[in-house]
Structure formats: structure tokens, C-alpha cells
Amino acid sequence: MELWSSFWDWFWFFLWMFAYVAYLWVLISIVIDLFRDRELNGWWKAVWIVFLVFVPFLTGLVYLIARGRGMAERSVRQQQEFKEDTDEYIRSVSFASPSDEIAKAKGLRDQGVITDGEYEALKAKALGNRF
């Protein structure tokens, strides 16, 4: 009998592959959480890593039970920090105040780079008016 001859052979193969990938995902998440935790001593991090290497399934299970809530809280806190940083960056590069835009347009007009009509159009745009 050939190994891949039936549907169930494929089914079990993909089921076990899914379980293996999920297991690896949990181990990687634990390692990331260990290094994200600023309250945990470096020696304790080393102990967790050693146990993850030599007894990975049991250590992963114990870690998720003992430190799962903190793991979730650190993850949420990091996501919030990323969102705040992203929002701050977007605000800093996307919107200038209308007075800044008008001042820039006035400087360009004074230098002769733009005409009075273009200055008025930029001013109206900065103030949110349609022209």
C-alpha cells in the first residue's frame, strides 16, 4: 500500500502538520514574550529557555498556565504602543496647521515662486474652502 493513496492519509498528514506548526508558533511566542517581559530577571529567562529546549511541551504548557495572563497583557500593551507610535507619526507627517500652510504659501509668493492667484488658491485649500 502506498503512503499517499487515500484521502485519510492526506487528512492525517495535514492535521499533524497543522499541530506541529501551531506548536512551533506557541514556542516562538513564549520566547518572544520572555524577552519582552522587563520585570523577569535574566536568570529566570535563561531557565525558561533551557527548559524550553530540553522539555518543550511540558514547559510550554506550564508557561501558558503560569504566565498566560501576563503574556496577553504584554501583547496588548505592545499593540497599543505600536498604534500610538503609528498615529503620532501619521499626525506628524500628514497634517500641518492651516496657519503653517498659509505661511509657507506667503513665503513662496514673496519669493516670486507662485503668483497671487496661486497663493489665494493655496490659502483657500489650507482653510478648507473650495475654490
Q: Compute, in degrees rounded to 10, the torsion defined by CA atoms 81, 64, 70, 42.
A: -90
pLDDT band at 3 (very low <50, low <70, confident <90, very high): low
Overall residue count recorded for the chain in this entry = 131
Cβ neighbours of residue 13 under 8 Å, at least 6 residues apart?
4
What is the C-alpha separation between 54 and 34, in angstroms, rounded? 17
Residue 37 contacts residue 75 (beta carbons within 8 Å): no
Could you tell me which residue, 129 or 107, shows the higher pLDDT?
107
Confidence of residue 131 (pLDDT cuts 50, 70, 90): very low
What are the residue ranges spanned by the domains of the chain? Answer: 7-67, 96-131
126 within 8 A of 98, measured Cβ to Cβ = yes
23-46 confidence digits (pLDDT tens): 999 999 999 999 998 888 999 999
Exposure on the CB side of residue 98, measured as CA atoms within 13 A: 8
User: The whole model's pTM is what?
Assistant: 0.60
Asked whether the predicted pLDDT for residue 97 surpasses 80, the reply is no
Residue range 4-28: mean pLDDT, rounded? 91
